[in-house]
Amino acid sequence: MSKWSIHPGDTRASLARLPERSVRCCVTSPPYWGLRDYGHDGQIGLEASPAAYVAAMVEVFAAVRRVLTDDGTLWLNLGDSFSGDKCGGRNDTATMYGAASSAQSGLAPKSGLAPKSGLAPKQLMGIPWRVAFALQADGWYLRSDIIWHKPNPMPESVTDRPTKAHEYLFLLAKNERYFYDADAIAEPCLGEEYRTRGKVRPTAEGGAGFEIRGGLHKQEGGRETRNKRDVWTINTKPYSGAHFATFPEALVEPCILAGSAVGDTVLDPFSGSGTTGAVAVRHGRNYIGCELNPAYIALSEKRIGDEAPLFTKGAVA
């Protein structure tokens, strides 16, 4: 029977206790830099500088890489921020996701001295790409920069730049060859694609083992579909049981479907409200979460338990 578990405490310590090569896929959205204070020394997200935050991300995902199977993947969602504002950089994650007050969330906004960005005020800091390039330098294969387009972004009061309506979702792989179920997330063809037919040919990259047919990917029940594109239009949608930031299930689902098979184990080292866990068990995967905040753990345990009452809570083999 499939199982799920959530490990309390610092994610780096929890990951160190997991067996090597025990997880097929990791889907996560870490704390963004300078957003929330969990009330724990050494917590991730309140580092003194972007460089220190990036170093912490490299450390965490090196531990993730150890527990991934050799054909495993990491799907990493990160938002950006601006220099010169409170909390070290303006980061609207909580409000964009529909979070309520700090008292409701069980967390407090960053207080006291703001982290130092090293940049003049009002500059976009490029945190997601700093992390992505650092992970690439640490040995990860950076395979895709997926744009999460938000049709319903939080309105901003700025008038000297466009309103931010996207975040990044990076696909990284442990090795050059990795598990990726393109059929599981293929999308319907549109318009002219129905009339565009060509010959089957190998991908230009080589070694990946995929084929395309005039831009068409496959055929199911008479309907042509194509390889999923790297711009995903998904509304922000808070989990009804949470009063803080959660990333939407619709963003998590294609990552799990493409990055794992039924019976595989999915990991989220920043489990939060359990979004990854709920989607994973719904699709017949095992789940391991790591979470620092006890309030989050209680919420996610109820959420995952409600989603899959026949699944067993306990150690995932």
Q: Are 39 and 143 contained in the same domain?
A: yes
Q: Which residue's structure tokens are 């390039």?
A: 133
Q: Tell me the CATH number at 110.
A: 3.40.50.150
pLDDT at 34: 78
Boundary residue ending a domain (201, 227, 253):
227
DSSP-derived secondary structure for 184-234 = GG-EE--GGGGG----EEE-TT-SS--EEETTB-EEETTEEEEPPPSEEE-
Q: Does the residue 180 lie in any domain?
A: yes
CA separation for the pair 74, 170 (Å, rounded): 8
Distance CA 116, CA 83 (A): 8
Amino acid at 163: T
Residues 97 and 29 in one domain: yes
Alpha-carbon gap, residue 58 to 146, rounded angstroms: 20
Q: For residue 12, is it within any domain?
A: yes
pLDDT for residue 207: 47
| The pLDDT value given to residue 166 | 94
Q: Which of 227, 247, 279 is the last residue of a domain?
A: 227
pLDDT of residue 193: 54
Confidence (pLDDT) at 165 = 93
Domain endpoint, select from 202, 227, 252: 227
The answer to the question of residue 50 being in a domain is yes
Which two structure tokens, joined as six digits, stand for 9?
């405490």
138 occurs within a structural domain: yes
Q: Are residues 165 and 260 in the same domain?
A: yes
Same domain for 178 and 75, yes or no, is yes
Residue 172 and residue 59 share a domain: yes
Residues 6+ apart with CB under 8 A from 267: 23, 25, 26, 27, 28, 64, 67, 68, 287, 288, 289, 290
Say yes or no: 61 and 198 in one domain: no
Asked if residue 278 and residue 202 are part of one domain, the reply reads: no
pLDDT under 70: residue ranges of the chain = 1-2, 38-39, 85-116, 191-223, 238-245, 309-317
- Looking at residue 247, what is its pLDDT? 84
Q: What is the pLDDT of residue 224?
A: 86
| Assigned token pair, 18 | 């997991």
pTM of the model: 0.83
Is-contact 246 236, C-beta < 8 A?
no
| Shared-domain flag, residues 12 and 70 | yes
Please indicate, yes or no, whether residues 7 and 87 belong to a single structural domain of this protein: yes
Establish if 313 belongs to a structural domain: no
Q: Is residue 282 part of a domain?
A: yes
Residues 265 and 277 occupy one common structural domain: yes
112-157 per-position pLDDT tens digit: 334 567 788 888 999 999 999 999 999 999 999 999 999 998 888 8
Flag whether 15 is in a domain. yes
11 and 116 inside one domain: yes
pLDDT of residue 245: 57
User: For 246-268, what is each residue's pLDDT tens digit?
Assistant: 789 999 999 999 999 999 999 99
239 and 166, same structural domain?
Answer: yes
Q: Is residue 159 part of a domain?
A: yes
* Residue 137: per-residue pLDDT: 98
**pLDDT on residue 313:** 67
The CA angle 182-185-189, to the nearest 5 degrees, is 95
* Domain region containing 172: 3-185+229-308
Tally of domains within the chain: 2
Which is nearest to 33 in space by CA: 60, 10, 8, 54? 54
